[in-house]
Structure 1
Amino acid sequence: MKKLVSFIATIFIVSLLIFFIFNILPGSPAQAILGVDADEQQVKLLEEELGLNEPLHLRYIHWIIGIAQGDLGVSYKYGQPVAEVLKDRIPISFSLAVIALILTVVIGIPLGILIAKTDGKWSSIILSMITQLGISTPSFWLGFILIMVFAVKFGLFPTYGFIPWSENLGEALKSVFLPSLAIAVGNIAIVIRYLKNSILDQTKEDYVRTAIVKGLGANEIMYNHVLRNALLPVLTVLGLITADTLGGSIIIENVFALPGLGSLLVTSIESRDFPLIQSLILIISLIIILANFTVDLLYKVIDPRIRV
């Protein structure tokens, strides 16, 4: 319950920041819509029509009430309800983020265990060097390399665009795999390094020496005892990686010409489409807050001592 109260309070504070920061920026959305040649009277009429002439606190209250009722407002640029504009974009960004996180976990955790178990050997040293390279490689640059190699040279994946999941499952997966991989590579390297260090720290603890004296096998000690304790810091990292994944998708979606939330955010900022910007950032913030809330709950599942 304490975490839930904290979750709700954080959402409230984030909504305040999002609304007021964007609405105190210089310049008028009405001016951006009508263009620089519009006269002052036209701008004022449009501001009245859009409700921009109301006091800031009243506009915030109307916005929050609308969100509570499922109304995100009307986009200035598209002239449609924001929910309609987002309807076709959310599945693309969501698919990108989920596949990137799945790749991070499925590849990162086994490799982290492998490097920790072979610590000091040449294979571990080489893999550690590769992870350092993965951390330092920008995702957008890696995206261009993946396009050149796997899309242009070998023709295994499309170079750009998105195929809806409802049309063709296989083609949809191919259209998001390369951008997801470009985002995931750096995150995989981070998970590997954190998990390796965490496992090596845990193997020095007294409970591991006790398990060895009891005659337990190396794999039993690793998977039943060490790994469970070593996963706690990795969970924290995965919560932070969620934010990096969403942030990275903004750039990657433009590299791969994916019509997701990232490319929409760039367009909405350029046109000063406040209802759309506010809704987009609020959705991204909610996902990040929810991811960290879930991580907090998982701590208690993995390590019951935290409950006490």
Structure 2
Amino acid sequence: MRLSPRQVAAFLGRRLLFSAVVLLGVLVLVFLLVQLVPGDPIRLALGTRYTQEAYDALRAASGLDRPLGEQFLSYVGSALTGDLGVSFRSGEPVTQLLLQRLPATVSLALVGIGIALLIAVPAGIWSALHEGRVSDAIIRVTSQLGVSVPDFWMGMLLILLFSTTLGLLPSSGYVPITEDVGGWARRVALPGLTVGLVAAAIMTRYIRSAVLEVASMSYVRTARSKGLPAGVVVGRHVLRNALVPVLTIAGIQLATILGGVIVVEVVFAWPGLGRLVYDSVAARDYSMIQGSVLLIAVMFLLINLLVDVLYALVDPRIRLA
């Protein structure tokens, strides 16, 4: 069923309204982060640099000397205009620092999800179509091992193999893709492979289950009973209808990678959002932590919205309701 522009606009309007409500809730939680922290965040941020003058100046600059309600309204108003405050540690605008780190994390996430899809889609489909055979057992055991291995351990093994032993790839560092495509590709290979292998192990199991579920449907059995070639049944009826749950798990994994690659970025000295959050927590830089959490939440909402829109494009039976 082809969707009219009015249906699409209504759906997008509802989803954006829902996202706005969720974002407001995130703003409240992020704002309360500083208020609920034990002790004085300004004193913690200054550490050994503490003087009364520095304390008063940083407290005034961060707005923590104003009433709580006024602080919240000011924070929400500033956040909506892109102003997330000033870093306690460096004194630079939080938004500027986040935008500097965002390309590194996005590039790593896209490489990781690309590797995961290249591995998981054919492996999951093959495992489902050969259920009960030796190849199915091998894929299931391998994916279980991939889920069980921590990503930092996977990264260390890859560094040991490709960097230390074979000397093929650098173990750390980052070069922007706009400056040197080859240098970027060499440095993103190992962290991207680490993220991709872990995500592929998770996605393979979901894809296998989705294909098995669709393959057991009555319309698939009917297509087979009509004598249609196996390739037509699989391509037209099984894979197309199994694509919706694949989009779901792919979107979840992409959002998870964008917001949860802290350990991988630390292991490979990758200057992304995860490394920034790690350094900010260590330095008690709560303004930076607030901004990072808010940015990650926005990325989650955008990816969920994109996946919902893709549902309707992939499966016309889905009503945008």
TM-score (norm 2): 0.89
Letter of the 1:139 counterpart: D
**Distance apart, 1:253 and its partner CA:** 0.5
Q: Which moved more, 1:63-72 or 1:41-50?
A: 41-50
Q: Deviations over 1:185-216 (max 9, x none)?
A: 12111211111122112222111121112221
Alpha-carbon distance in structure 1 between the residues aligned to 2:171 and 2:110: 20
Of 82, 101, 105 in structure 2, the residue corresponding to residue 93 of structure 1 is 105
Of 268, 285, 291 in structure 2, the residue corresponding to residue 273 of structure 1 is 285
Of 233, 236, 255 in structure 1, the residue corresponding to residue 248 of structure 2 is 236
Of 151, 165, 169 in structure 2, the residue corresponding to residue 157 of structure 1 is 169
Alpha-carbon distance in structure 2 between the residues aligned to 1:297 and 1:3: 10
Change (3 A) 1:22 1:47: closer
**Distance apart, 1:255 and its partner CA:** 0.4
Q: Which residue is equivalent to 1:51? A: 63
Ranges in structure 1 where 5+ consecutive residues have no aligned partner: none
Identity of aligned residues (%): 38
Q: 1:121-132 to 2 correspondence within 5 Å?
A: 121-132=133-144
Q: 1:57-68 to 2 correspondence within 5 Å?
A: 57-68=69-80
Q: Is the 8 A contact 1:14 1:282 kept in 2?
A: yes
Q: Which moved more, 1:32-41 or 1:90-99?
A: 32-41
**Distance apart, 1:247 and its partner CA:** 4.3
Q: Is the 8 A contact 1:251 1:262 kept in 2?
A: yes
Q: Which residue is equivalent to 1:299? A: 311
Q: Which moved more, 1:171-180 or 1:270-279?
A: 270-279
Q: 1:1-308 to 2 correspondence within 5 Å?
A: 1-35=13-47, 38=50, 43-307=55-319
Aligned-CA RMSD value = 1.9
Q: Is the 8 A contact 1:183 1:248 kept in 2?
A: no
**Distance apart, 1:41 and its partner CA:** 6.8
SS of 1:307's equivalent in the other structure is coil
Q: Which moved more, 1:275-284 or 1:29-38?
A: 29-38
Q: Deviations over 1:145-181 (max 9, x none)?
A: 0000011111111111111212210110121121111
Alpha-carbon distance in structure 1 between the residues aligned to 2:304 and 2:227: 38
